Structure 1
Amino acid sequence: MMGDSDIIRNNISDIIKRVGAAAEKSGRTAGEIHIIAVSKTIEPERIVTAVDCGMTELGENRVQELCEKYDKIDRECHWHLIGHLQTNKVKYIIDRVKLIHSVDRAELAEEIQQRAKKIDRPADILIQVNVSGEGSKYGISPDGVMDFVKAIASHSHLRVKGLMTMAPFTDNPEEVRYVFRDLNKIFIDIKKENIDNIDMRYISMGMSNDFEVAIEEGANMVRIGTAIFGRRA
């Protein structure tokens, strides 16, 4: 009978194959796709197993949990804040994260700018877009993204690196293909503008249930938790 570590290793091997196949369908290679292992609620020892299997980009939803694990995971890895970020929590993660995926309002962008300026280290961020229009989802409306990007482009210690979205959960990922396609169109439109200080590099979209469709539609960063660690209790 396989132990927990063996299951995680097998899951990661399977994910890498599936990512490679989806990338190939979109004319790219597996190496062009960044896998963020979503480690929320996962115990440190299981995270270490994933890191040792090459999953060195880790995503957390909550600031407190990220900070606790940051101090416990004794491995070379990079942390991503992928969940909703309250303005008053920025100070706790500004010097700990590689990328903030969920910037969705002007006051949050301003707070990140001020905190990054204070430690004299530019902060890399993604703009969260609510493509589906779901009331339960955070994010800027698709119509407002271009103006928002232009408005924060002058912030000296913010570096916009791309866009992020969350699709509605569904058993049939074909139903949300339009979400990924639409975000890719917005990404391309912003990139064409060549706005100073805006480096459109990443499209963060797709999770365990729909990452293959997301990659086919242009994602180069996917956030995978359940398919690596199993269903959470």
Structure 2
Amino acid sequence: MSANLAILQQNLDQISGRIEAACHRSGRDRSDVQVIAVTKYARTEWVRELIRLGWTTLGEARPQQLVQRAEEFRDDSDLPDVHWHLIGHLQRNKVRPVLPIVEVIHSVDSLRLLDRIEFMADELQTRPKVLLEINIAEDSAKDGFSVDALIDEWPKLVERSSWQLDGLMTMAPHTDDETQIRKTFAALRTLRDRLREQTPDEPILHELSMGMSGDFEIAIEEGATMIRIGSALYEGLDR
């Protein structure tokens, strides 16, 4: 086993242990939490080893990079199938190449983007799973729906059928204040519950995508069903 592969395996084991512990603390089953292994800054050989080790749900932040990586690994017959998630900003002119590849789009941040996804989904005869990105903290530097805007548009959104409204996504503020981070994640869960109460007959909003390498344990404790882990996977690898 190469040094890099040994380090990668050690990182994966440590992350798995931390997830198990967070689930135990919050009384949750480990199977309730899905890890999206983020490949944004990863070298190709690292991603290939991740896939070989069974981490086949991958998240890419850049649409063009996602398309390129998907093509590369799809042609490798020695690897199992990869399940791609887009976790970064999606421009409307990038929707067409992305839709046939991704299983979930985490970062749907506007009605205009939803309109484009709906149009292209009809044309391509696909029905993508989407998560609505919520700017819980109302940070002007971040994308996403405000809570008030989403509540106002909610009755119209649930009437659409060209995509599956699978859940909500948010990012915590850049702070070391764990109380503030926890408050953000709890607010997303509360919003999800509120929207569900408004549409009790709709089988929607199964997922809460929140938590990254620095805060995924708090996210799990506050109800995350998807966590997006990147840098913690590759710590110590020879760059």
Return 5+ residue gaps in structure 1 as ranges: none
User: Paired residue for 1:10?
Assistant: 10
Residue number among 148, 163, 169 corresponding to 2:174 in the alignment: 169
Once the two structures are superposed, residues 92-122 of structure 1 have per-residue CA deviations (whole angstroms, 9 ceiling, x without a partner) of: 1010000000111111001101111112111
**1:29 counterpart = 2:29:** yes
Within 5 A, what are the aligned runs for 1:65-76? 65-73=65-73, 74=76, 75=79, 76=81
1:205–1:222 CA contact under 8 A, matched in 2? yes
Once the two structures are TM-superposed, the CA of residue 54 in structure 1 deviates from its matched residue by: 2.3
Partners of 1:116 and 1:212 lie apart in 2 by: 35
Normalising by structure 1, report the TM-score: 0.94
User: Paired residue for 1:204?
Assistant: 209
Partners of 1:231 and 1:153 lie apart in 2 by: 45
**1:151 counterpart = 2:156:** yes
State the identity %. Answer: 36
User: Paired residue for 1:127?
Assistant: 132
Once the two structures are TM-superposed, the CA of residue 2 in structure 1 deviates from its matched residue by: 6.5
Once the two structures are TM-superposed, the CA of residue 193 in structure 1 deviates from its matched residue by: 2.1
User: Paired residue for 1:141?
Assistant: 146
Aligned residue pairs total 233
User: Paired residue for 1:183?
Assistant: 188
User: Paired residue for 1:63?
Assistant: 63
Q: What's the secondary structure of 2:227's corresponding residue?
A: strand
Specify whether residues 197 and 92 from structure 1 end up closer, same or farther in structure 2 by C-alpha distance, changes over 3 A only: farther
1:9–1:49 CA contact under 8 A, matched in 2? no
2:7–2:236 CA contact under 8 A, matched in 1? no
Within 5 A, what are the aligned runs for 1:90-101? 90-101=95-106
Once the two structures are TM-superposed, the CA of residue 152 in structure 1 deviates from its matched residue by: 2.3
Once the two structures are TM-superposed, the CA of residue 230 in structure 1 deviates from its matched residue by: 2.5
Return 5+ residue gaps in structure 2 as ranges: none
Partners of 2:89 and 2:49 lie apart in 1 by: 27
Partners of 1:7 and 1:37 lie apart in 2 by: 16
Partners of 2:154 and 2:230 lie apart in 1 by: 29
Once the two structures are TM-superposed, the CA of residue 196 in structure 1 deviates from its matched residue by: 6.2
What is the root-mean-square deviation in Å for CA atoms of aligned residues? 1.9
1:165–1:183 CA contact under 8 A, matched in 2? yes
Once the two structures are TM-superposed, the CA of residue 197 in structure 1 deviates from its matched residue by: 5.5
Q: What's the secondary structure of 1:200's corresponding residue?
A: coil
Partners of 1:108 and 1:231 lie apart in 2 by: 38
Partners of 2:59 and 2:133 lie apart in 1 by: 15
Q: Which amino acid aligns with 2:146?
A: S
Once the two structures are superposed, residues 118-174 of structure 1 have per-residue CA deviations (whole angstroms, 9 ceiling, x without a partner) of: 121111100000011212111111122223333222222111000000111233434
Once the two structures are TM-superposed, the CA of residue 177 in structure 1 deviates from its matched residue by: 0.8
Instruction: Decide which moves more: 181-190 or 41-50.
Output: 41-50
Partners of 2:21 and 2:232 lie apart in 1 by: 16
1:153–1:198 CA contact under 8 A, matched in 2? no
